[in-house]
Structure 1
Amino acid sequence: MELFYLEGPHLVERLKHDGHEIFLDLKLHDIPNTVKSAMIGLARMGVDMVNVHAAGGRAMMEAALEGLEIGSSSSRRPRLIAVTQLTSTSEAEMQSDQLIQASLMDSVLHYSGLANEAGLDGVVCSALEAGKIRDITRPEFLRVTPGIRLESDAKDDQKRVVTPHQAREIGSTAIVVGRSITKANDPYQAYETILKEWNK
C-alpha cells in the first residue's frame, strides 16, 4: 500500500514488464459499487492478487469479484482474498474498538466462511488461525499470513506473530513479510533466510 501510493500504477507496469507476480495489498473497503469499479481498474493493470476487508460484507466481496472478472475479460482473473482481522489487533482491542463480542478466533472464522461463500480465493489471517480456516473451507482456499518474524526480530506493532517455518507447519499457504526484510542490514540475505525457513 505504501509503495503504491508513493509510486503509482507505473511501478506495477514496470514490475510486470520484468516478469514479477504482484500482490497489490490495498485492502479495499467501501460500498459494493465503488469496490467493483475499483477492481475493474486493478484487474486491467495485470496484478496477480488483490484484497478487500471482509468486514465490508458478502455483497461487497461479490461485487469485488465481479469487477475483477469484468476487468480481466481477456486474461486470467487476479486472485481475490479478504482481510479477516489485522495481525496488529488483539482480542481485547477487537472487542472494545469494533464492539465485536465474539472471540478473535470466532470472528476470523466467521469472516473466512463469508469470503468462502462469496467465492473468493482465500483470506488474509494470522498463521495462528490458518489451520482452523483450512478445516471449514474448500481445500484450495488460500490462507495468506502476515505477522511473520524471524526468531531474532522485534515484534513491533504485531500481536499475533510466528516464524516462517511455524506458519508453514500450522497451515499457511503463503506468507507476507515486511520489516524482517525491509529493516534488515542486508535485505537480500534476510529474504534468502526467510525463504529457506519457509521451505525447510
Structure 2
Amino acid sequence: MKLCIALDLPSKEENLKLAKEIGEYANDIWLKVGFRSYIRDGNEFIFKLKNLGYNIFLDLKLYDIPNTMADAAEEITKLGIDMFNIHASAGEKAMKEVMKRISKFEKRPLVLAVTALTSFSNDEFKKIYGNDIDIKAKEFAKTVFHSGLDGVVCSVWESKEIKNITSNNFITLTPGIRPFGEDAGDQKRVADIKAAKENKVNFIVVGRPVYQDKNPKQKVEKILKKLKEN
C-alpha cells in the first residue's frame, strides 16, 4: 500500500514547504495536486515537485465529451505526470478514447476513474445517480475495468468487492483516510489504515491529518511505519 499526501494548503509556498519537509520520504510517498493548487500554481509547481523526486497524482477528475477528455489526457501525459483521474460517469466511450490517445506514449501515467466522491452520503448520491453507492460504484468499476483503465478512486468500503469483480491487480485509491481516527471534516465515508489494509487498498490519500499536524514529518513517519506492519 502506498501513501499519497494531498497538497491542499492555501498557498504554493506552504505546499512546497511541506513537500521539502517530508522530502526524505520522496521515494516512499506520492503527492496529490488538486484543482486549487493546479489552477493557482500551474505546471511550474508540478515541475518543482518532480524535481524534489516525487511521483505526482494530478487530481483533476476530467469530465467532458470524449474528444475533449482525450485532448486533456494527452497534455497531462506530456507533463510527465505519474497518475491522473477522470470521472467514470463520463462513460465507456470517453474512457476508451482517453486510453487510446495516451497509449502512443512510450511511458504513460496510471489512469484512474472516480466511482463516487467520498463526500457523498448515500442519499445525496442516490438523488443524482439513481442507485445506492455500493451498487453503482461496482457498476462503474466494471465499466472502468473493461475500458482498459488502471483502477478506480473509491472509498475503502468498496475496494475489496471491486477487486473481487474485476482483478486483484486493479488499483484502488481511497481518499478520506484518517490514519489514526482523526476528525472526518467534510468527508462522509472515511476509514483508518487498518480498514484500508483489510479492504486491499493500493493507495491511501491523507491530507489534513498530515498538513494540520504540528509535526508533519513525524506524522508521515508514523503512517509509513503503520503501513509496514503486518
Could you state the TM-score of these two structures normalised by the residue count of structure 2? 0.81
Match for 2:89: what amino acid? A
Q: Take 2:37 and 2:144, find their aligned partners in 1: how far apart are those partners?
A: 27
The offset of 1:64, in angstroms, is 1.6
Corresponding position: 1:90 with 2:121:
yes
What whole-Å deviation, never above 9, does each CA across 1:143-177 have from its counterpart, x for those lacking one?
A: 11111003341111111111122201211011111
- Which SS does the other structure have where 2:172 is aligned? strand
Question: 58, 64, 67: which is aligned to 1:30?
Answer: 64
- Counterpart code for 1:84: T
**For the residues of structure 2 that align with 1:5 and 1:183, how far apart are their CA atoms?**
22
| 1:58 partnered with 2:92 | yes
1:1-200 alignment, distance < 5 Å? 1=34, 2-70=36-104, 73=105, 75-96=106-127, 98=128, 100-200=129-229
Contact 1:38 1:67 (8 Å CA) reproduced: no
Distance in 2 (alpha carbons) for counterparts of 1:84 and 1:29: 12
CA positional deviation for 1:195: 1.8
SS at match of 2:206: coil
The amino acid across from 1:20 in the alignment is: Y
Cα distance in 1 between the residues matched to 2:40 and 2:95: 26
Tell me the percent identity. Answer: 36
Distance 1:110 1:152, change over 3 A: closer
Partner Cα separation in structure 2 for residue 61 and residue 182 of structure 1 = 33
Q: Secondary structure at the match of 1:76?
A: coil
C-alpha contact 2:125 2:131 (8 A) present in aligned 1 = no
* Superposition RMSD in Å: 1.3
Structure 1, 121-130 or 147-156: larger mean CA deviation:
147-156
Displacement over 6 Å in runs of 4+: none
Greater strand share, structure number: 2
Q: TM-score, normalised by structure 1?
A: 0.93
The answer (yes or no) to whether the contact 2:95–2:149 under 8 Å persists in 1 is yes
Which digits, 9 at most, give the CA deviation of each residue in 1:45-96, with x for residues without a partner?
00110100101111111122123224xx2x3110100000011111111112
Runs of 5+ consecutive residues of structure 1 not aligned to the other structure: none
CA distance 1:125–1:152, change in 2 (3 Å):
closer
> Residues of 1 paired with 2:178 and 2:87: CA distance?
23
CA distance in 2 between partners of 1:185 and 1:79 (Å):
33
Tell me, in whole angstroms, the C-alpha distance in 1 between the residues paired with 2:228 and 2:116.
Answer: 26
